[in-house]
Amino acid sequence: MSDTDGKKTLGLRSGARPGNVKQSFSHGRTKNVVVETKRKRVVVPKPGAAKPAGGSAAAGGDPSRRPAGITDAEMERRMKALQAAKSREADEAAEREAAEKAREKERERRRAEIEAKEREEKEREESLKAKAEEEENKRREAEAAAQAAANPAPADTQQPARAAPNRGGPPPAATPRKNERDQQQRPKGRGEDNRRSGKLTLSEATGGGAGRHRSMAAMKRKQERARQKAMGGTVEREKVMRTVALPEAIVVSELANRMSERVGDVVKSLMQMGMMVTQNQTIDADTAELIIEEFGHTVQRVSDADVEDVIKEIEDNEEDLIPRPPVITIMGHVDHGKTSLLDAIRDAKVVAGEAGGITQHIGAYQVKTDGGTMLSFLDTPGHAAFTSMRSRGAQVTDIVVLVVAADDAVMPQTIEAIAHAKAAEVPMIVAINKIDKPAANPDKVRTDLLQHEVIVEKMSGEVQDVEVSAITGQGLDELLEAIALQSELLELKANPDRAAQGAVIEAQLDVGRGPVATVLIQNGTLRQGDIFVVGEQYGKVRALINDQGERVKEAGPSVPVEVLGLNGTPEAGDVLNVTETEAQAREIAEYRANAAKDKRAAAGAATTLEQLMANAKADEDVSELPILVKADVQGSAEAIVQAMEKIGNEEVRVRVLHSGVGAITETDVGLAEASGAPIMGFNVRANASARNTANQKGVEIRYYSVIYDLVDDVKAAASGLLSNEIRETFIGYAEIKEVFKVSNVGKVAGCLVTEGVARRSAGVRLLRDNVVIHEGTLKTLKRFKDEVAEVQSGQECGMAFENYEDIRPKDVIEIFEREEISRSLD
């Protein structure tokens, strides 16, 4: 401790190192505490000092003054926490630095290994190259020596004496006589070409004999290719850089094909990256991108969904748009006269062709009014099972005509139709039908509609309402005028000069025509010969048939037509798009089919062990009624499947093994036999072979034409799988007064019936201190010495239990009866 300028400096008791923490005193008053750390110097205000305006040091104020109320112990504790935090921060920084150094060392080690491998490969190539050059030099020397030995100079062999003096000078000119002598001395055989016969070539030395010889350049090229092959390299050629379309996953062989590279080179590159793969394995897009860049090509990332880019929405220019007919959907409750009203408008008899007078399909018709206006009508079914069909009708429509019977009221399907119209955000016109009936009350209909926020014009609302009668024709002109007025307000336009786009209203499998789809064209023009894709199917327009059954060459916006030429039956509600080529349509359809297949597999797959166990337990607890459904059109099949899914409870459910359109075939019968399921045919029949097979194998086939009957029969069959309900009825009590042991019988209880009646056929429970200790049946019930059927209250009797003898006095016997009650699904 030292004293400087009247100030004393003392070390704190916190154990801090000298020089790091100081406390200064001056004239008996404590000044600021100065804390020095490795990183920075912190000044804490003295106790009792006024708190700075900016808050404490910890809060970001002036750190030179200690906040009020802070004791030395608290200050010491804070200093220790500060030092500990600094220490932890330093340790973490050291750990990060050590980890970074370790990673850097690992990278250097890998880099050194790669460089070592490259050096070894380069040395091996150089050694092979040197060896090949040495062999080439030896071969050339041997060839030159063999040639020199086979062709000695004529001057040296024939006239050595004469040639010697002339060595070093120009050769003497040949005389004519000498030339003639040389010409005579040349060997004969191949004419003038025999002048080269004395040379020993490589082909002659190796047994090639006379004939055409390879040039020296060709030999050199062959040797160079052999040397490159021996060294493991490739012949140098011009590199072609490509733009490679890379999906989310790709097979190695396909990747090599898109890069125009050898599969072996691609596999080798992957192995150098640490991936041991073969050419038939799939790699992810990131790995494939590294390979593509390594080979010097350009990557273009694509996804499987990009195949649908060819049918993206096209914005039409305003000058290309022309007015189109409106699409009107007739909606409402079953048997409120929707189809009859449409018949009266188009002067047709559609109801006569429907089973039970109930529309079970979506009908599409075109009507031309007296004023020349063309209208497209959609008639939707009203049964509860056809919810999805009504929804599709509302989605493709411009105007909804809500039909409500004047002698009835707003019913469940009427409410559902209102909800569909509001969800589709389309205007609504209320047609109050059956106004000619004596019980008609249109004002009640208007009042009921108020509950569902449909306010008609006569109730000071904005929704048009028309009173009509499909039988007498009353109000039909007013209804058509209301539709025309609403369509003018909508200003409906479309571009007919573009690729067609439409919605599938209904689809079916016709015996003679194949898959047939009823399509409402929404934009563009569909022509015969167009290639299209619709949902998971594709095809080429073979024929177009309008609602009158006539063949047409083309169909424009808002025109419903039947399209022939599909490769399969599409789903009702699918969108039809015209493509340029059949390959595009096929690719889009395959992509959609695979996506739908993956989606179905993912929906039905259990991904965890808990899910598997839960599914297994659920399958054990629930009884299933399997069925097969075949219908005439896709919409009806969809409606039946949805109705089947709603049948059942936690004990019983209906499982549709297969649903489809078209006649019942042998394949359906085989599936039904294997699964023990009946076949439900809706407006279809089994062919002859299927009927014979079903009779032989005992498969039940049921035919229906009204969906009510089908749903009711399946519900009744599912009710048969329900276990009967056991209902228990209390009938009496008896108290044991004494217990007797009877030979050949065992223990017998002498009882007094205290309440109700005791019957021998009833069930009994033995109660001891109000606790059930046995439940079973009576072996005997006696009154005096006689067996009796029942004993009334207040009488004594003898009872013996079946296979139970632990009975004591004062035990109570409870007598009850069980009744089985059959259950049914609601």
Entry field: residues in the chain: 826
Secondary structure of 269-295 as H, E, C letters: HHHHCCCCCCCCCEEEHHHHHHHHHHC
Tokens 């040091």 appear where?
57
Q: Mean per-residue pLDDT for 779-803?
A: 87
Amino acid 6: pLDDT: 41
Residue 644, number of CB atoms within 10 A of its CB: 24
Q: Mean per-residue pLDDT for 446-459?
A: 83
Phi-psi region of 294 (alpha: psi -120 to 50; beta: other; left: phi over 0): alpha
Amino acid 673: pLDDT: 86
Type of residue numbered 354: E
Amino acid 15: pLDDT: 43
Q: Mean per-residue pLDDT for 500-515?
A: 82
Amino acid 734: pLDDT: 92
Split at pLDDT 50, 70, 90, the class of 82 is very high
**Higher confidence at residue 588 or residue 182?**
588
Contact between 424 and 432 (Cβ < 8 Å): no
Q: Mean per-residue pLDDT for 648-676?
A: 82
How far is it, in rounded angstroms, from Cα 665 to Cα 680? Answer: 12
Q: Mean per-residue pLDDT for 294-299?
A: 89
Instruction: Spell out the residues 6+ positions from residue 504 whose beta carbon is closer than 8 angstroms to its own.
Output: 517, 518, 519, 534, 535, 570, 571, 572, 573, 574, 575, 576
Amino acid 361: pLDDT: 53
Encoded tokens for 674? 């294997």
How far is it, in rounded angstroms, from Cα 804 to Cα 324? Answer: 89
Q: Which residues pair with 753 in a beta bridge?
A: 734
User: In angstroms, what CA-CA distances link 318 with 167, 523, 556, 557, 577?
Assistant: 102, 14, 18, 16, 22
CA 170 to chain centre: 94
Query: Is the model's pLDDT at 201 over the cut of 60?
Result: no
Amino acid 513: pLDDT: 83
Query: Is the model's pLDDT at 27 over the cut of 60?
Result: no
Query: Is the model's pLDDT at 172 over the cut of 70?
Result: no
Give the tens place of pLDDT for each residue, 94-123: 999 999 999 998 988 888 889 888 888 888
Amino acid 81: pLDDT: 92
Split at pLDDT 50, 70, 90, the class of 74 is confident
Query: Is the model's pLDDT at 192 over the cut of 80?
Result: no
Q: Mean per-residue pLDDT for 41-64?
A: 44
How far is it, in rounded angstroms, from Cα 282 to Cα 251? Answer: 4
Amino acid 267: pLDDT: 92
Secondary structure of 523-556 as H, E, C letters: ECEEECCCEEEECCEEEEEEEEECCCCCEECEEC
Query: Is the model's pLDDT at 60 over the cut of 70?
Result: no
Q: Mean per-residue pLDDT for 42-71?
A: 50
Q: Mean per-residue pLDDT for 317-339?
A: 80
Contact between 576 and 641 (Cβ < 8 Å): no
Which of 584, 594, 582, 596 is CA-nearest to residue 539? 582
Query: Is the model's pLDDT at 24 over the cut of 70?
Result: no
Give, for 231, the enclosing helix (H) or strand (E): none
- Strand duo 746-759 + 725-742: pairing: antiparallel
- 122-129 own/partner pairs: CB under 8 Å, 24+ apart: 125/231, 125/232, 125/233, 128/227, 128/230, 128/231, 129/227, 129/231
Give the tens place of pLDDT for each residue, 472-488: 878 888 888 888 888 88
Secondary structure of 130-182 as H, E, C letters: HHHHHHHHHHHHHHHHHHHHHCCCHHHHHCHHHHCCCCCCCCCCCCHHHHHHH
Type of residue numbered 213: H
Query: Is the model's pLDDT at 305 over the cut of 70?
Result: no
**Percent above pLDDT 90 for the chain:** 7
Mean pLDDT of the chain: 76
Q: Which residues pair with 697 in a beta bridge?
A: none
Residue 716, number of CB atoms within 10 A of its CB: 11
**Higher confidence at residue 493 or residue 367?**
493
Which of 551, 558, 573 is CA-nearest to residue 496? 558
Query: Is the model's pLDDT at 634 over the cut of 60?
Result: yes
Least confident stretch, 119-133, 612-626, 740-754: 612-626
Amino acid 751: pLDDT: 92
**Higher confidence at residue 7 or residue 179?**
179
**Higher confidence at residue 612 or residue 263?**
263
Amino acid 19: pLDDT: 43
**Higher confidence at residue 675 or residue 14?**
675
Which of 757, 731, 758, 751 is CA-nearest to residue 811? 751
Give the tens place of pLDDT for each residue, 708-756: 788 888 888 877 766 666 778 888 999 999 988 887 778 888 999 999 9
Contact between 526 and 563 (Cβ < 8 Å): yes
Rounded to 5°, the CA angle 289-293-296 comes to: 145
Tokens 């089919």 appear where?
593
The model's pTM: 0.50
Split at pLDDT 50, 70, 90, the class of 613 is low
Query: Is the model's pLDDT at 187 over the cut of 70?
Result: no
Which of 404, 479, 402, 482 is CA-nearest to residue 442? 404
Coil/strand/helix, residue 388: helix
How far is it, in rounded angstroms, from Cα 459 to Cα 487? Answer: 23
**Higher confidence at residue 163 or residue 645?**
645
Q: Mean per-residue pLDDT for 672-692?
A: 86
Tokens 């190695």 appear where?
252
Amino acid 85: pLDDT: 92
Query: Is the model's pLDDT at 55 over the cut of 50?
Result: no
Rounded to 5°, the CA angle 43-46-52 comes to: 75
Split at pLDDT 50, 70, 90, the class of 236 is low
Give the tens place of pLDDT for each residue, 255-274: 998 888 889 999 999 999 88
Amino acid 353: pLDDT: 46
Amino acid 776: pLDDT: 87
Amino acid 320: pLDDT: 77
Query: Is the model's pLDDT at 231 over the cut of 80?
Result: no
Query: Is the model's pLDDT at 3 over the cut of 60?
Result: no
Split at pLDDT 50, 70, 90, the class of 90 is very high
**Higher confidence at residue 57 or residue 635?**
635
**Higher confidence at residue 405 or residue 153?**
405
